[in-house]
Amino acid sequence: MTDLPGSMRAQERATLELRALYERFGYEKYRMSQFEEYAFYLRYQSFLPSEKILSFTDLDGRLMALKPDVTLSIIKSVRDGAPKSRFYYTETVYRENRQSGSFREIQQMGLECIGAISAYDLCETTLLAARSLAAVAEKRVLALGHMGYVSGLLDALDIPEHRREAVRGAIRAKSPHLIEQAAALADGEGLARLRTLCALSGPFSPTLARAEALCLNAAMSAAVEELRTVGESVSALERGGLQLDLTLLNDTEFYDGFLFAGYVQGASRPVLSGGRYDGMVRKLGKSAGAVGFALYLTELEQLEQPTAKQPTDVTLQDGAECPADLLRRADEAVSQGQRVRVLEQKEGLSC
């Protein structure tokens, strides 16, 4: 049977489209085990969005966890020194729902490129992220950012380490009014630069020009150049929706360089997040780098219109004829592309 079910949701269709797209770009499907040892996540907790992990004791007594994250398991599986690996996945993760105070199941799809990461890899991953958004929504925004740009500015302004978390929090919240106390800078010009950074988001090219004007050191300039390379390469192929947001900062240690977030109209938070995570790969004892993203399918589900019940073309009555005849008639109708419904049996068999 080659035709797709009429009740298939837009998100399910997009999943199939994206699988084909990722495979054409050389990504292989990665199917991972449902469970990991709890100790594994405990060790790398700083990379996880929450310290709460859904755990259980396996039959052999080991404390296991239902995956709160996919990327850690993929990195673990890659042999150090192996050629560049490209994987995509569709998996379920279990994370804390802060508001309900319970765990929730999250369907996500994504890809990871692990190895010696080049500028091309960053461009390719970003293009695939843009295409993934395009597959799920007409109105979308892919915002690019760079952790290196922000840490470059904090270095240039000599912000002490113990203050950086609060400063990053104020930048992430786009709050110039919170910067002063967080940074505790005597230097008025430095403070003005931090406040300017809080407003560095918007259409890609003009915002990049403003970001360039704020550069104070080589780290910031390198970040701007990397953003320019990726932004220009991707916008040449995937029109519309590309923005620059230098307040886009990771709130865990996950992404540590170039990063991005995808929004679709109607969703209150990003439905896609990705970026470079070389630090995490190194912490897992590998010498490679990595870049990837995840598309949160569960978030997209909320945006879909309720699907109407599919109309029935042929109605048959169970019990009106013998099961073999009824089955043959139903099968004939289906093979002609009709939708069949067999009504409940009212009387006993007639043959």
Site residues (CB under 8 A) for another protein? 98-99, 139, 141, 143, 173-178, 180-181, 201-202, 243, 263, 265-270
From the CB of 52, what's the least distance to another protein, in Å?
14
Strand partners, 262: 142, 272
3-state SS, residue 309: coil
From the CB of 3, what's the least distance to another protein, in Å?
35
CA distances from 199 to 59, 180, 194, 202, 251 (A): 54, 15, 9, 9, 19
Find all residues with CB under 8 Å of 35, minimum gap 6, and list them: 58, 64, 65, 66, 67
State both tokens at 314: 């042929």
Closer to another protein by Cβ: residue 33 or 99? 99
Other beta carbons within 10 angstroms of residue 40's beta carbon come to 15
CA 129 to chain centroid, in Å, comes to 9
**How far apart, in whole angstroms, are the C-alpha atoms of residue 41 and residue 210?**
40
From the CB of 330, what's the least distance to another protein, in Å?
45
Closer to another protein by Cβ: residue 75 or 171? 171
From the CB of 51, what's the least distance to another protein, in Å?
13
DSSP category for residue 305:
P
From the CB of 174, what's the least distance to another protein, in Å?
4
Phi, psi (5° rounding) for residue 332? -60, -45
Segments in the chain forming alpha helices (H): 10-24, 38-43, 71-77, 119-136, 147-156, 161-172, 176-183, 188-198, 204-213, 218-237, 278-283, 297-301, 323-335
What is the dihedral angle through the alpha carbons of 200, 203, 207, 208, rounded to the nearest 10 degrees?
A: 120
Closer to another protein by Cβ: residue 88 or 263? 263
**How far apart, in whole angstroms, are the C-alpha atoms of residue 144 and residue 134?**
16
Closer to another protein by Cβ: residue 71 or 201? 201
**How far apart, in whole angstroms, are the C-alpha atoms of residue 315 and residue 342?**
6
Closer to another protein by Cβ: residue 180 or 332? 180
| CB 85, CB 114: distance < 8 Å | yes
From the CB of 141, what's the least distance to another protein, in Å?
4
Closer to another protein by Cβ: residue 133 or 288? 133
Closer to another protein by Cβ: residue 114 or 267? 267
Closer to another protein by Cβ: residue 70 or 171? 171
Other beta carbons within 10 angstroms of residue 245's beta carbon come to 21
Closer to another protein by Cβ: residue 305 or 335? 305
From the CB of 181, what's the least distance to another protein, in Å?
5
From the CB of 48, what's the least distance to another protein, in Å?
16
Closer to another protein by Cβ: residue 105 or 180? 180
From the CB of 149, what's the least distance to another protein, in Å?
19
Look at residues 271, 233, 258, 294 and name the one whose alpha carbon lies nearest to residue 22: 294
From the CB of 15, what's the least distance to another protein, in Å?
22
- DSSP assignments along 16-57, one per residue: HHHHHHHHHTTPEE----SEEEHHHHHHTGGGSS-S---EEE
DSSP category for residue 214:
T
